[in-house]
Structure 1
Amino acid sequence: MSALLQAPGRTARTITRRRRPRTGLALVVCVLSLVVAATLGFHFLVPDIAGFGLLVESALPWLGLVIPVLVVAAFVSRSRGAILAAVVPVIVWAVMFVPAMVPLSWTAPAASASTLTVASQNVEAGSGTAGESARALAETGAQVIALQEMDDAGREEVAGVLGEAYPYTYGIGTVGVWSAYPIENAQALDLGLGWQRGIAADLATPSGLVSIYVVHAASARPGDHAARDEMLANLADYPPRDENSRLLLLGDFNAASTDRSMAGLFDSLDEANQSGGGLGFTWPAAFPATRLDHVLQRGMEVVSHTTLRVGASDHLAVLTTLNL
C-alpha cells in the first residue's frame, strides 16, 4: 500500500523536472534571435570589416534558414521568453521579404495596346555564347536587348545575330544595347571611374520617349568594392535629373537589392516582383543565390518580370514587359 502511495509523488517530481526550462539553451536562443533580427533590420549598419558587411547584405534573405532552428530550439528550451524572442526574427524577416516574394502575376495589370519588352544579361566574357544569348533573347520578342561584359569576339557575334531585327544600336566598352526602336541622344555615362561601363539614351517608341540606362557596375568582392560603390552612387544622381517621365535602368549592378549601395537608386526607382514569385536570384546561374541583375523603372506599369537561363553565362537573364 505504501508503495502505491509513493508512486504518484515520484511521477509528479519527474514531470516537474522535465518541464523545467533549460536556462542555458533559452539564453542562447534569446541572444541569437535578437542578433538575427537586428542584422536583418539594421544590416546597413553592419560594419564592413574584411568584407563582412558585403557578405551579409548579399546573402541577407538566407538568414531566414536560421530562424526555424531558433524556433525549434526555443520550444526545446521550454522557455516562454525564448519562444517570444524567436518570434522576433520571424516577424522581421516576413516584413522584409514576404511582400517581395508575392507573385507579380497576382496583381499585374493587363498588357495595354502599347508595351515595351526589355531583356538584359551579363553574357560573361570568355563564355563564348554571347551570340547564343542574343539569339535566345531575341526569340522572346523583346524590343530592346541590353548586354554586358562582351569581349570583342562576343560583340561581333551579337551584331551578326541582332543586326537585322535590331537595327538601332549603341555600345561603349563591354556594354551594348540593341533596339527595334530608334535610339536617340546616346552617350557614355561618366561615373567617375576613369573607364566607361554605362550607357544613357532615349528610346523613340511609338508612345513617346523612354529614357534607358544600361550599366555594368564594377566588381564587388569582400574588402574590394569601393569602385562599385562609387559607380552606383554616381549613377543614382542621373534618374532625378532626367527629364523624361518614363525611365529604365537595367544591367549588372554587382549588388543585391539589399545592398546599402543600392539605396540611392531605390529612392527614385522601383523594381517589380517576379511574375512567378520568389526573389529572382540571378547569380551564379548554376545555383542562383543572390540578385545582381536588375531592371529598375519609373513612370510605367510592369506587366511581367522574369529571369531565364540563356547561353552559358554565370548570370541569368532578366526579361521585363511594361505598359507604356
Structure 2
Amino acid sequence: MAQQAYVTETEDGGSGPEQRRSRLRRLVTRPLRGWRGDRGIWRRGIVLAVIAVLLALVLLLHSRIPNTVGNLGSLTETFLPWLGLLIPVLLVLGLVRRSATALIATVLPVVMWLNLFGGLVIDRTSANGDLMVATHNVNADNPDPSRTARDLTGSGADVLALEELTASAVPVYEKALASTYKYHKVVGTVGLWSKYPTTAVRSVDIELGWERAMRATVSTPEGQVAVYVAHLPSVRVKAATGFTARQRDKSADALGTALAHEKLQRVVLLGDLNGTMNDRSLTAITSQLRSTQGAAGGGFGFSWPASFPMARIDQVMVKGVKPESSWTLPRTGSDHLPVAARVQVSAPD
C-alpha cells in the first residue's frame, strides 16, 4: 500500500524538475484560490486605495506643498525618501484585506518613489578620481576632538572641511592635522585643511552677523579649484511653529549669490547645509551645483543624526568637475557622520 501511494503521488506531481515546478505553482496559487469568484475584491480596500493615491500625489507634487504653514513643504521634502516605508505597509494591508483595488492603487506610489529615488539604490561609484574631498560637522560639544581629527586624517582626503569649530578646539585640530595637511585656514567656525596650496582665502557673507562660510582657491596638480566651506543655520521642528528654517533659507540664498559670482569654472562646496537636495529652499544652491551623492553615490548617504542617520544634510556639491564616487565615513565623536567624495578635476563634467 505504501508503495502504491508513493507511485500515485509521483504520477500526480511529476518527478524531478516537473515535480519542483508543480510545487512552486501550488505555493504561488494557493493564496489566490480564495480570491477566485470573490467579487468583493474590487469593493474592499477603498480607503487603502485612497491612501495609496494620496501618497503617490505627495511624491509627485511635493514641490507644490506650500511652506506658508510651518514650512510643511520643506519638512516633507527633508524626509521624503522615508515615505517609501508606507508602500510595503499598504501592500501587506491590501493582501490581508484581499483587495485588488488597493493592490493596484499601490503601484502608483511604487512608480513615483522609484522615479525619485530608484537611482540612489544603485551603486554608481567608480574607482576613478584625482581629488578626494571630505567634510565634517565636528560638533561644538565633541568630547574628543583629537580623536576625531585622527579619524579624519586616516580617511585619505586631500581637502578637508570642518564645521562647528570652537575657539578652544581649533588648536587641537590644528595640531592633530598638521602632519597631513600643510595648508589650512580657519574663518569663524569653519575651516579648510589642504595638502595643496591655498590662496585667495576669504570669508563669505551668508547674512548671519558672524562667520560661518569661507572660500579658497586650491591649486591641485590638475588645476585650480574654488572650494567653499559653509555651515548654514540649524532648523528646528516645533509643535507651535512647525519647521523653523527662515534664517537657513536666507543664508542659502546668500550663499547661492556668492556661488553665482564665482569666476573659476571648477567649484566644490563642502559643508553642513542643514537641508537635503530635495528641499526647495536650497534651490539657490542646487540650481548651480549638483550633489556627488546623487551623481556617483551608492545609497542615500544619510549623515544625520550619527546614531541613526535619517537625512543627508551634510553635502559635497560640485560644478565643472566630474563626480566619481561619494560615501559616508565612519562615525566620530560628532552627532554627524563625515561625508567624502572623489572627483575628477582633469575631466570637466
Output the TM-score relative to the length of structure 2: 0.81
* Residues 310 and 68 (structure 1), Cα distance of their counterparts in 2 relative to 1, 3 Å cut: closer
Corresponding residue of 1:292:
313
Of 159, 163, 167 in structure 1, the residue corresponding to residue 174 of structure 2 is 159
What's the RMSD between the two structures over aligned residues?
2.2
The 5 A counterparts of 1:181-200 are 181-200=196-215
Name the aligned partner's letter for residue 230 of structure 1.
K
Per-residue CA deviation, residues 293-314 of structure 1 (Å, 9 max, x unaligned), is 0100012222321101242101
The 5 A counterparts of 1:240-279 are 240-273=260-293, 277-279=298-300
Of 133, 153, 169 in structure 2, the residue corresponding to residue 118 of structure 1 is 133
Give me the whole-angstrom Cα distance separating, in 2, the residues matched to 1:89 and 1:189: 41
Q: CA deviation at 1:320?
A: 1.3
Give me the whole-angstrom Cα distance separating, in 1, the residues matched to 2:278 and 2:263: 28
Corresponding residue of 1:84:
104
The reply to whether residue 138 of structure 1 matches residue 156 of structure 2 is no
Corresponding residue of 2:50:
31
Per-residue CA deviation, residues 211-268 of structure 1 (Å, 9 max, x unaligned), is 0000001001123210001111221223332221111001101002221122332222
Q: Say which SS state the counterpart of residue 45 (structure 2) adopts.
A: helix
Give me the whole-angstrom Cα distance separating, in 2, the residues matched to 1:183 and 1:261: 31
The 5 A counterparts of 1:91-106 are 91-105=111-125
Per-residue CA deviation, residues 74-105 of structure 1 (Å, 9 max, x unaligned), is 34445544333211100000000011221123
* Residues 134 and 77 (structure 1), Cα distance of their counterparts in 2 relative to 1, 3 Å cut: same
Q: Say which SS state the counterpart of residue 176 (structure 1) adopts.
A: strand
Give me the whole-angstrom Cα distance separating, in 1, the residues matched to 2:36 and 2:84: 34
Output the TM-score relative to the length of structure 1: 0.87
* Residues 15 and 265 (structure 1), Cα distance of their counterparts in 2 relative to 1, 3 Å cut: closer
Q: CA deviation at 1:129?
A: 2.5
* Residues 137 and 17 (structure 1), Cα distance of their counterparts in 2 relative to 1, 3 Å cut: same
**Do 1:130 and 1:155's aligned partners in 2 also have CA atoms closer than 8 Å?**
no
Q: Say which SS state the counterpart of residue 318 (structure 2) adopts.
A: strand
Of 54, 58, 64 in structure 2, the residue corresponding to residue 45 of structure 1 is 64
Q: Say which SS state the counterpart of residue 133 (structure 1) adopts.
A: helix
Give me the whole-angstrom Cα distance separating, in 1, the residues matched to 2:150 and 2:331: 9
Corresponding residue of 2:322:
301
Gaps in structure 2 of 5+ consecutive residues? 1-33, 238-242
Q: CA deviation at 1:176?
A: 0.6
**Do 1:173 and 1:197's aligned partners in 2 also have CA atoms closer than 8 Å?**
yes
Name the aligned partner's letter for residue 159 of structure 1.
E
Corresponding residue of 1:205:
220
Give me the whole-angstrom Cα distance separating, in 2, the residues matched to 1:215 and 1:15: 58
Give the number of aligned pairs: 305
